Structure 1
């Protein structure tokens, strides 16, 4: 009976030691797993900028993400407006001055001025106007009222996708330049310093090129271009653009024009050679003809040979009647 309580106490102590050991192992395992997860997260965070930079350097890595067009309203899109108009006026210089005032009133300026005036009224003036995009239509209408409108052509180009793409590329390239400068400040050797300086210079050059393209697009979208041509009273109007016909008629027309062009070239060459032919060819032909004639007159006349084959006698034979003497 006394041995039984001792056995129970010993068993309880052993069970407690075993349970405490298992708890310590489980706590160590959880701590180690937590540490591993923390290390893995740190590695991922540290590797994230490098991965982004690698994807920026190699655009092929981001091909899995489909590109989508920006969903913007009409007033938020980047649109380039270009227009040309021809107006017939009585005084081209006065009309050119009025068009300059219209452009300046709209908040623009004159980008080019080419005038060809004449006292006979056949002069022309061509001006290139840069006006804000929101004043494009009103400026064109104002120019058409300066005289009689002869022709008008309006073109638009939507560059919204190019603008959005340039913004994204500029942001990525700016981040690459910043990371390169950070690495340059941490260089520990001369070789690393030279290599990083070259890399940073290349990245800054690419960034400057992208920013220049963005400024060019911004200028074209902010200021529209209008080319206005003022025609005098006697100046010929602009030629209409004829569309080339297709099919058999188009081929026949092209072949006929090619034949006329070839004949024109041939006649031009012949006209250029004709004076030389007359100046050199005629004297040469005259000398050759005279030489042939001199040779023909100098050659001996061939003797006449009768059909029998023998030469002609010097004197005709005497007749038999002449040889006979008369008889008494």
Structure 2
């Protein structure tokens, strides 16, 4: 009995072990099947996600832009420039007026100074006269030579006014760099999607989108070039005035003496104009007046030599006397 009970207990234990092993293998196979199905579903999802990216142009572009925008943001953050004082982007502009004895000679000296500094003349306007001549010059010089050129121009004569302005565009430059990087990534993503387009509709839509993005990129790059030009070359507007030239901010004066002075100037100007006109007419008066005077003199002499003709008046005819009437009766 004891031997039979022990044999039965051994068989039950073996069955339990076999049952547990079968359950373990079943669970392992179930987990493996779930993993393979999940991976298959993930692959199907990836394929399905790529298909609408080409079929739906706008949705695909927006999804691609998220990745490209994130990469551009990381690149912009990693490559942030050094914003120390000597590394900042600053635009220098200046306006000054200098009174000189000879405007043309001073303008030549200014041109030579700008050329030595590595710049050029951006504009040249002059009003020629003897004492009140004025020359307006626009100078473009490197930012590092800005202060030196200003002082050199001021030493050409008597400085009447000076105004120096600065504009810090560092933040705008950094923002433009980040936007250009992001826009280039968006253009690249649009080009990749265009290369994978499978229908005419998608092709036309993606071409239009690519054209808009390239136009935006060109506009941003043009703004960046403009800022780079303004920060690299400073602008100085120089006015060279003669000894008698009036300043721009000269106030209008009133009073008797001012009116008398202005009236005298007007009289002198009018007299100058009258003498100018008389000088212009004098050759014609000489050329025509002398022959005419000689002709009149000759005619007068001939008139004096001719005999005078005296006209005698005719005698008046008298009427016959009246006849008296006859008288009748005694």
1:138 deviation in Å? 0.7
Aligned to 1:105: 116
The 1:197–1:51 alpha-carbon spacing in structure 2 relative to 1, beyond 3 Å, is closer
TM-score by length of 2: 0.61
Structure 2: gaps spanning 5 or more residues: 54-58, 74-79, 252-330
Task: Decide whether the 8 Å contact of 2:64 with 2:189 is kept in 1.
Answer: no
Aligned to 2:133: 123
The 1:181–1:11 alpha-carbon spacing in structure 2 relative to 1, beyond 3 Å, is closer
Q: Deviation per CA, 1:289-310, whole angstroms, max 9, x where unpaired?
A: xxxxxxxxxxxxxxxxxxxxxx
1:20 deviation in Å? 2.6
1:146 aligned counterpart, secondary structure: coil
Aligned to 1:166: 176
1:239 aligned counterpart, secondary structure: coil
Matches within 5 A, 1:1-328: 1=4, 2-29=7-34, 50-51=62-63, 53=65, 72-119=83-130, 121-239=131-249
Task: Decide whether the 8 Å contact of 2:68 with 2:185 is kept in 1.
Answer: no
Q: Equivalents in 1 of 2:194, 2:45: separation in Å?
A: 27
Structure 1: gaps spanning 5 or more residues: 63-68, 242-328
1:15 deviation in Å? 2.5
Q: Equivalents in 2 of 1:143, 1:39: separation in Å?
A: 75
Q: Equivalents in 2 of 1:55, 1:26: separation in Å?
A: 34
Aligned to 2:311: none
TM-score by length of 1: 0.62
1:39 deviation in Å? 8.3
Q: Equivalents in 2 of 1:52, 1:197: separation in Å?
A: 16
When the two chains are superposed, the root-mean-square deviation of aligned CA atoms in Å is: 3.4
Query: Max radius of gyration: which structure?
Result: 2
